[in-house]
Each structure stands twice: as C-alpha cells, then as structure tokens.
Amino acid sequence: MSQHHFDCIVIGGGHAGVEAALASARMGLKTAMVTLSVETIGQMSCNPAIGGVGKGQLVREIDILGGEMGLAADRTGIQFRQLNTSKGQAVRSSRCQSDRKRYKLYMQQVVTQQENLTVIADQVMELIVSNGRVRGVKTEQGLELECLTVVITTGTFLQGRMHVGKEITSGGRRGERASVRLADNIRELGFEVLFFKTGTPPRLDGRTIDFSKLERQDSDNPPIPFSFRTKEIPKDQPLLPCHITHTSDATHEVIRAHMHESPMYSGQIKATGVRYCPSIEDKLKKFADKSTHHVFLEPEGMDTFEYYPNGVSTGLPLAVQEKFVRTIKGLEKVVITQPGYAIEHGVIPATELTATLETKKVAGLFLAGQINGTTGYEEAAAQGMIAGINAALQAKNQESFILGRHEAYTGVLIDDLTTKGTDEPYRMFTSRVEYRLIIREDNTDQRMAKYGRQFGLITEQEYDAIITKYALIEKEVEHLRNTSVVRVHNWIRF
C-alpha cells in the first residue's frame, strides 16, 4: 500500500495546475503537484502575454481570490497596456507582454517554496477509483499516491499530436511528451474524449528584423499593475516596445500556393480549431476578401533576441513558413529560430462537470484548464483557482464554492462550459458577460475580496485595506450628494 498520502493531488503544473495547487496548499491542505517536469511549471506555451480583452478581467479575479497570475505578470511584464481606453469601462481590459523565461521562473519559485505543497516530477498514468470516488493516482515511476481529491489540468498534453506540414509527432508541446496512457484511463472510466486544435507561429531572430521600417508600439508609462497587491511597477523594470507589420499580397500568394500542405486543409487534422485566434491559413480561407492582416512583433524577454510574430500561427512545412514570413515588411531577411506548429489534443466535454468543476461520474475528481475545452492561460488559471478551492473545501468536508454569472467573469466562463458545453476552443470575451456594465476590471476587489478572505487566500490586512478604500469612496460620494454648488456672479459658493 502507498506510503504517500495527500489531501489533494493536482496533475499538471501549467496555468490551471499552478493556481489549483497553490489555492489548495494555502487553504492548509497537504497538496501534491505531480507534473512532467519542474522546469516547465508556469510555462507559456504560446504567446508571451497575460491579459487582453475579457482576459484581463479574469486575471484580476484570480488575483483577488489570492491567486498568483497577476503578481507574476506584474513582476515579469516588459510592456503594459490598457486596452479599449477610448470605450466605456465595461470593455476596458489590461494586457501585458511578459518575459517568457522570467514568468515561469517566478512561478517555479513560488510553487517550490509554498508551504504544504510537494512537487513531484512524474507522469500520472492512471487514477485510482473505487466505489465511484477517486482515491489516488498511479505514476510512471511506480508511485501510488493516495488522496481525498484530484484536480486534472493536463492542458494540451492529453493525447497531444503536433503537426508541421505532413510531419506528425506525439507530444504535448514542442519537445515534451504527450499524456497518452492517462487519456486511455479516462476513457476506461467512462468519459468521452474529444479533440480540439490550436497552433503557434514560428519564433524569429530579432537581430534579423528591420525594425526601422515598422510602426512602434510603446508601453503605457507609468504602467497599471494587475494585482491589487502591487502598489506600482518598479520604475527600473525595463519596458520594451512591440512593432506592427502586415502580411502582403505576396504573403498570401505563398500561403495559397501551399494550402494543400497545411494539416488543417489537407484533411490531416480533423479537430476543431480556435475561431478567435485562427491560423494564417484559416484567416486566408475565412476572410478571403482581406488583402492584409496585422502582425505584432512581440519581444520574448529582456535577455533573448527571440521575437513572437503574433498573427501568423501556422501548421505549414518549415520551408513554406520561411518563404511566407520573408514576404512581410521588415522580415525580408528574417531567420526562424523555432518552427510554428499545430497541435490536436484531448478534451473532456465540460458538461460532464458540475459548477464546482467536479466530475459527475467520479466523486472528488475535478478538471480545470484546457482539458475542459478552453484556450488561453487566463481561462485555464481561473478554472484552476475554482477547482483548487473546491477540491480543498471537499477534502475539508466544507460547503462548495460557486461563482454566479452576475458576479464574475469566472462565473460566466464556468457556467457556459458546464451548462452549454463547447464544440470549439472557448475563449473569454466581454460580450459573453451579460452584466459587464456591473462586473468590470476596476471593481473586482469590491465584488470579490470577501471570497478571497473567506478562504484565507488574502490576508485580513489586505481585506481591511479594500474595505477602507470603498468606505472612503462611499463617504466622498455622500459628500458630493449633499453638496450643492451655486453660481453667484463670478464666484462659486458652497
């Protein structure tokens, strides 16, 4: 019998896994994170950025519940921008460009130093289930870990298959193994496994980009932090510019000529792709009337010369990727450092879950992140937070925690997934949120600090500071309500 007993086991150390494991451990539960490698905890698989429209709201909600994503973004951001500032408060969101390497190192440090949290580098092969309840996990290295609750956050790894042109490799991310046995075991437990597709662009050597031809986009300065716990972004934190360029007729010609080699259009990939973050092949097919598409050249970090060309995700063969990127202004002599690729991965229909993210079939088993059919770090982390809190509450025999659609973006995300399901990768948008005039980024602390405090995930001092802030605002509003301004001649009399 197993020597190892935990209250909660989290499978995976991606964005969902990190928040789930930290929440459980910080709620006082003996927690284990079993993940393929410690060096990839907190890894950004695709674009080095946090936030964005609809996503910035999620980051703020994770933060006020005591999560780590906002703090990590503040500490490792290299460009911060408020989006939609010319529009109303309901659709304003924060976004930052992150230093990819520093972001994951920050997360690794927090996770490995967290009290009550043991990190095990191993692959979970099977769940131990008896009488309809999860009892633990079995790993590749022969460990049998017992527990009361399990959170699965396997992201793009569940039976993942990567495609570059005709070349297909089993893997969860470039250079990393897929999680195949666990997918089979999940099927044996009676769950259906569907497949979704996503993709990433090639990475470019910034030393071979001609920035002099391109439009420059600078950071807001001073930047506005994500976390209510960050007073300000330090003045000496370097802020880097992004640059904007565009695809051209020549780019589209190359891609069209090789469309038959794209795994998405050759019939090689059957899974449904991300509608709102399409590959460049998809853009050409779906928006055939457009003669150009934006490409944002985003720096990958402070001490790397790699650039991320946001907007040209592709599964075309490497030689074609090279050919088409060199038709883009500023990239005529560019060198590709890593090819773009498409990936298909297993997803469990989220209608199998309750609003706490526990499966209906197996008690004590929770699912969070991309495995539930979402796409994006923020969507994953928000689910990780809720699954982690609920897995901990269940292990403590306490009442579960459900956020309503009327009070949080996270509530809308989980309600949409668990009640309607999704037949394509789900991304958060402000338009999904019926109460967006009321639930906004700027009042997240007012709406949700009580929950962070309820679970002990934010301190009493932090909570009191928020109560004081809103008491002062209320006092001032009352003062303005009771003050009339009368204009007499040229004088103003109160």
Ligand X SMILES: Cc1cc2nc3c(=O)[nH]c(=O)nc-3n(C[C@H](O)[C@H](O)[C@H](O)COP(=O)(O)OP(=O)(O)OC[C@H]3O[C@@H](n4cnc5c(N)ncnc54)[C@H](O)[C@@H]3O)c2cc1C
How many angstroms separate the most distant Cα atoms in the chain?
90
Window 335 to 354, contacts with ligand X (CB under 6 A): 341, 343
223-252 residues in contact with ligand X (CB under 6 A) are: none
Return the range that interacts with ligand X (CB under 6 A); candidates 30-38, 77-85, 259-267, 292-300: 30-38
Task: Specify the residue for token string 């920035």.
Answer: 211
Smallest distance, ligand X to C-beta of residue 189, A = 14
What is the footprint of ligand X within residues 141-160 (CB under 6 A)?
A: 153-157
User: From the centroid of its chain, how far is CA 15?
Assistant: 6
Q: Candidates 8, 9, 10, 11: give the one binding ligand X (CB under 6 A).
A: 11
Reduced to 3 states (helix: H, G, I; strand: E, B; else coil), residue 461 is helix
Q: Which stretch binds ligand X (CB under 6 A): 33-41, 94-102, 262-270, 484-492?
A: 33-41
Closest distance of CB 409 from ligand X, Å: 15
# residues contacting ligand X (CB under 6 A): 37
Binding of ligand X by 369 (CB under 6 A): yes
Site string for ligand X, 294-323 (x = CB under 6 A): -------------------x----------
Does the footprint of ligand X cover residue 14 (CB under 6 A)? yes
> From residue 481, how far is each of 454, 486, 491, 494 by CA, in Å?
33, 14, 21, 13
* Three-point CA angle 385, 119, 187, nearest 5°: 65
Give whole-number Cα distances, 40 to 31, 146, 339, in Å.
19, 25, 19
Count CB-CB contacts under 10 A for residue 221: 10
Choosing from 94, 198, 251, 262, the residue that interacts with ligand X (CB under 6 A) is 198
Please, which residues have CB within 8 angstroms of residue 68's CB and are 6 or more apart in sequence? Answer: 18, 19, 22, 62, 107, 110
Tell me which amino acid residue 68 is: E
Give dist(CA 75, CA 106) in Å, integer.
Answer: 8
Residue 179 as a binder of ligand X (CB under 6 A): the answer is: yes
Minimum distance, C-beta of residue 42 to ligand X, in the bound complex (Å): 8
Residue 45 binding ligand X, by CB under 6 A: yes
Query: What's the CA dihedral at 139, 350, 373, 24 to 10 degrees?
Result: -50
Closer to ligand X by Cβ: residue 37 or 398? 37
* Length of the chain in terms of residues written: 494
Residues that bind ligand X (CB under 6 A): 11-17, 34-36, 40, 45-46, 123-124, 153-157, 172-173, 179, 182, 198-200, 277, 313, 341, 343, 369-370, 375-377, 380
